[in-house]
Structure 1
Amino acid sequence: MHLTRFRLNTARTGARRLLESPQRLHAAVQFGFPEVLAGHGADDTPADQPRALWRLDHISRAEAHLYVVSQSEPDLTHLVEQAGWPHRAATTGEPGWQTHHYRPFLNRLAKGDTFAFRLTANPVHSVRRHAGEPTKRTAHVTPRHQLGWLTKRQEAAGFRLLSRENPPATGRPEDGYEVVVHNRRDLSFTKSAPPVGKRAAPVTLVTVTFDGRLEVTDPEALRRTLTLGLGKAKAYGCGLMTLAPLP
C-alpha cells in the first residue's frame, strides 16, 4: 500500500480545470497507474482492477493538496505537467509528488491509539416516500445528521469518536464529540462516459469534510477503512480517511 500527496499549482489552467470537476480529477488519478485500463468512466472500474482512493484538501484559496491511497505506487508525471511545477521537477530531479509506503504505519495501529483524522464523505441514507415504493438514496444535508451518519459507522469502521471533556450546554448530541463538520459541497454533473446504448445519467452529490479525533477500537477493521474507504461516491473523492499524530 502507498500514500501519496500531490500539491496542485492553482495558478495553472490545468489545475483549475481539475479542481472544478471530480470526474476529471478521478480520471487523472486513475491514469497514474499503468495497470488500470484506459477508457473507463468514474464508476465502471473493472472489479479485477485496483481502485485508488483520493481526496482533495483545500488548504487555502491558493493551495490544494491531492491525497491518494493505492495498492501500487503511482506515476503522476502527467499531473506535474498539467497542474504542478514541471520546470522545478526537471531541474531538481524530484518527481513533483511524495509517495510513502503505507503498510508499516497500518501495521503499527493498535487498540487504544488516538489520532487526529480527516475524512471527506458522502453521507446518505435510504428513504421511502410512499408505502410500496422502492427506497431512494438521499443525502444528509445538516451537520447534525451528517455527524449521525458517521457515528453509526464508527464501530464497524474500527474506531470511536472522542468526546469533548467540556461540551457546550446546547443539548445537541453532535456537540459532544471532538469533530467539526465543514466544507459542504453540492455537486451536480453528468457522467461523461455512459455505457453503450444508454443516455448520460445526471449525478448529484453532497459532500462534507469531518475533522476530529478518534480512538482505535479494532485495528484490523480500521486498516480496511483506511485502505478501502468509508461510504459512497469513492470515485468522486469521497471515503478516504487519513490519520495524524495528536499534538
Structure 2
Amino acid sequence: MTMSTWLVQIAVSPRCTRLFTRGLLNGHALHRDLMRLAGDNLGDQPRKTAGLLWRVDEGPAGLQLLVQLNTPPRIDALPGDLALSARHRDLTPLLDRLQAGMRVRYRIAANATKRHGNATPEKKGKLANLHGADADAWWARKATDAGLHPQQITSTALPDILGPTTRDRHNTPQTVRHGVTRFDGIATITDPDQLRTAITQGIGRARTYGCGLLSIGPLSEPR
C-alpha cells in the first residue's frame, strides 16, 4: 500500500512575533511547533518518521508555511498564535499521476553546500554555502538525481535560517545558521519513482529547519 502524503498550507498570523530571532527565521523553534501536526510516539527520529518537511513562502498576503507529512495532520494541535488559517489536502493523487515526459513547474528552498577541500586546517572538511552559478550547478545535479531535467532555473538567495544553539570548545554558545537558496523553474520528469522519493524524503541538508521541500505542479501548455 502506498504511503499517503499530506500538504498543509498555513497563513501565518501577523500577531505571531516569535518566528524570528535577530531578524532571521528561527527554524529550530518553528520545527518544534510544526511537529505538533504529526502523531506521538514517533521513535528516535520523529521528523524522519513523520516525513515532516516545510518551507516558508512570502507573498502579497504575508507569510505562508507549506508543511508536508505522511499522516493526516492534526491542525488543532498547532499553537494558537501561529496560524491565521490552515488548510490541508492529500497529495497522493498528484504523486500517483506523475509520468516520464511530463513538464512541471517546481520550487524548492534548499541548503546548497559543499565541503571545503584544500583549505586551512580549521576549515577543511566543513561545509561552505554555495552561491550564484555554483548554487545553480548544485541544484542541476540534485534535480537530475531526483528524476527531473531542469529546463529553466531561477535562483534567489534568501536570508539564513537559524538552527539550534550549540557550544564550541570554549563553551561559548553559538547558533547554527543555514544558508538558503530558492530555486524556481520548469522541468521535465525523467524518472517518476525517483521524483516521488525526492518529494516525500526531501533534498539536501537542513531539512529539519525549512530546507529541502520540493513542490511541483503540472505545467499548463499554451494553446
Band of TM-score, shorter chain: 0.7 to 0.9
**C-alpha distance in 1, partners of 2:175/2:41?**
25
CA contact under 8 A between 2:55 and 2:66: conserved in structure 1? yes
Q: 1:131 to 1:58 in 2, by over 3 A?
A: closer
Query: As a proportion of its length, which structure holds more helix?
Result: 1
Q: State the shift of 1:238 in Å.
A: 0.3
Choose 146-155 or 221-230, whichever is displaced more. Answer: 146-155
Letter in 2 for 1:22: G
1:36-84 CA-to-partner distances (Å, cap 9, x unmatched) read: 569xxxxx73487324011111114x51111111110111324362123
What are structure 2's unaligned runs of at least 5 residues? none
Which secondary structure state, in structure 2, belongs to the residue aligned with residue 31 of structure 1? helix
**C-alpha distance in 2, partners of 1:51/1:77?**
19
- Aligned partner of 1:148 in structure 2 is 137
Which secondary structure state, in structure 2, belongs to the residue aligned with residue 230 of structure 1? coil
Letter in 2 for 1:148: A
Paired-residue identity, %: 25
Q: Where in structure 2 are the equivalents of 1:54-93 lying within 5 Å?
A: 54-60=54-60, 63-79=62-78, 81-85=80-84
1:110-164 CA-to-partner distances (Å, cap 9, x unmatched) read: 0000111110000001122359885221111x221111100112221100001xx
Q: 1:48 to 1:116 in 2, by over 3 A?
A: closer
Letter in 2 for 1:16: T
**C-alpha distance in 1, partners of 2:162/2:86?**
30
**C-alpha distance in 1, partners of 2:47/2:212?**
18
Letter in 2 for 1:2: W
- Aligned partner of 1:182 in structure 2 is 156
- Aligned partner of 1:18 in structure 2 is 19
**C-alpha distance in 2, partners of 1:244/1:149?**
22
**C-alpha distance in 2, partners of 1:69/1:102?**
9
Which secondary structure state, in structure 2, belongs to the residue aligned with residue 155 of structure 1? helix
CA contact under 8 A between 1:190 and 1:200: conserved in structure 2? no
**C-alpha distance in 2, partners of 1:156/1:241?**
13
CA contact under 8 A between 1:185 and 1:206: conserved in structure 2? yes
**C-alpha distance in 2, partners of 1:149/1:155?**
10
* TM-score, length basis structure 1: 0.75
Q: Tell which structure's C-alpha radius of gyration is larger.
A: 1
What are structure 1's unaligned runs of at least 5 residues? 39-43, 86-95, 163-177
> Are residues 1:203 and 2:193 paired?
no
Measured on the aligned residues, the alpha-carbon RMSD in Å equals: 2.7
* TM-score, length basis structure 2: 0.82
The one of 7, 23, 26 equivalent to 1:3 is: 7
Letter in 1 for 2:128: T
Letter in 2 for 1:50: A
**C-alpha distance in 2, partners of 1:47/1:189?**
15
**C-alpha distance in 1, partners of 2:161/2:57?**
16
1:158-186 CA-to-partner distances (Å, cap 9, x unmatched) read: 00001xxxxxxxxxxxxxxx221114213
Query: As a proportion of its length, which structure holds more strand?
Result: 2
